[in-house]
Structure 1
Amino acid sequence: MKSILIVDDEEVIRNGIRRTIQKQFPKHRIHLAGSPEEAVDALRHHHMDIVLTDILMPGMTGLEFMAILRRHYPHIKAVVISAHSEFAYAQEAVRLGAKDYLLKPIGKDRLIELIANIGEEIDRENKRTLETQLMKSNLNYLREAVFQRLASGLDLGRFDITSFIERYPSFHLVMVRMDSDKKLTLEHFMIENVLSELIEMHGDGFVVSIDNLSLLSLVKLRAGVELEELVGELRTHLKSYLKRVPFKVLSSELLHDLRAIPNELQRMRQASVSKEYEHYDSGGDTAIEVALQYMKMHYHEELSLEKTASVVFLNPVYFSQLFKQKTGQGFKEYVIHLRMEQAKQLLQNAQLKLADIAERIGYQDVRHFTQIFRKKFELTPTEYRQRLVEMKSE
């Protein structure tokens, strides 16, 4: 019996693959995921042997998802499903460890044969490597648990960390912190995967989770590699992967004592408070463009910063910062600008009463409307209307 996860944003495809497999292999457990987020959640709660994943999905490509599998679930056999036959896709899928590359529409006989072959391969490998994998996994968990206790300043008791000290006589700390009100399970996995791969490329170390928004890594760089190089590559990757989630990267000087970790982590957290979150132009521009269009359509309603931020799926604090950066105006200032410009247009119609105009642009109180108008244009609405009459009569 094998556990299989099918990841595809098309429900028809997911269900079709499930029916084909269950008919031929009724004892296999089948799990379905319509998005990378659902797939990551399924992996965290269920043991999987085989994953069949679409190559193009919103939020994360199948190839990016496979990179996560290779890092965190190396025992899983992955099969890529695609409507594209480009060699580059297949080549990258193979590089990431894919057992095969299936083109849509998927032939039933080919799928059944593939699942059978992979199942036999898993059985052979399980007999040889189960004990080794468990030992390696346990050692990794133990190492990360020790590091988490060190970072928190907790007593290690009688645990001997001599080997830990010998392996990391000098090191840097690198922390990534995100900002969001929502659960960031997928983004968390992305950061851990990217940072782990960069550490592996440039030296030795590992990554642990501090909380839902933060990850901390210990990095021992190879000779000739500068920390700025790794941090720069990390920022570049995160700007691409995190899309609309703001983040900040902090790092330490070269440390030579594991006992310095708690104080250094505290310093980095304090520095994090004053350090601005990373902004990325492409996603930011798009979000603000959508927000501006929404504001132009709804300026006459009760328009709050929180509501507008939710329309573009951004944290209100981050949205406020990004809005001012992109427009040069604060959110409330811009709303007033929209309303007052519209008021000037409506005042040209002599048949409209001031109360009607105030209501049309979002103010229930005429007196409040008049005060804001005068503050912005140094004229009351009545005086502005009189000026229009005088200009026409000249």
Structure 2
Amino acid sequence: MSMVNKTILVVDDEPRTRQGIKQTLEQWAAGRYTVETAENGVEARERLLKERFHLLITDVRMPQVSGLELIRSLSAVHRKPAVIVISGYAEFTYVQQALQLGAFNYLLKPLDKAELLRVAEEALKHEEEGQRREKLEKLVDHRLLEIDPDQPVMGEAVREALAYVEGHLGDQLTMAEVAGRLHLNASYFSVLFKEQTGLPFSEYLTRLRLQRAKELLLNSRLSVAEIGESVGYRTDKYFIKVFKEHEGVSPSRYRQRISDQADNIQ
């Protein structure tokens, strides 16, 4: 996991605890990320609404704005940090509330340094995975998700067609070819496929190719031409044309946009 440019906010109204956590994390991080502090919930809330933090470590009980109120205020934050709450044994009811509000974990006072570092690392991984899922969610074609080969209405022929297309997406597929492999008349197969999937075969194939292309634009360094070829387009010019018609931007611009979002997430 890359820690570059990640930022942790430590909030505690006790200076000794606050600085102790900061020092422990900074020694462990060795410059991999930034550790900042806030001396009360009021200051922390203002900063959380304006700045990007990946991990919030907060005392659960503070004057004016408590740790619980601080966690509730995260509902107004677009990219929420993972949250670790700090409490004493007598405050466990507050901890339970914090966990119900979405806190990742809790630490009991007096803090154990090894446990602090272990939980902080787990929380950062959790936050990063959450951001990754959020990015992938933006890539998903929900119309394709509605097609479930295991549905009772899905016949064996269409199941085989879906599997074949999935495994040969880079080939120059045609409906006639797929129907022929299933020993079916092309016209009959066309009606059957649309009835059972809800999509015409050509639209399904295009959606699937573009879905795979978007995944490669995000997760690989292949050129636009290489990606187009790998998902079945003979020329990059035609691939760019189809991609732009469906996504509103060119593949290279789409990749840049995703990259910019990823930089912001970091």
The alignment's TM-score, normalised by the length of structure 1, stands at 0.32
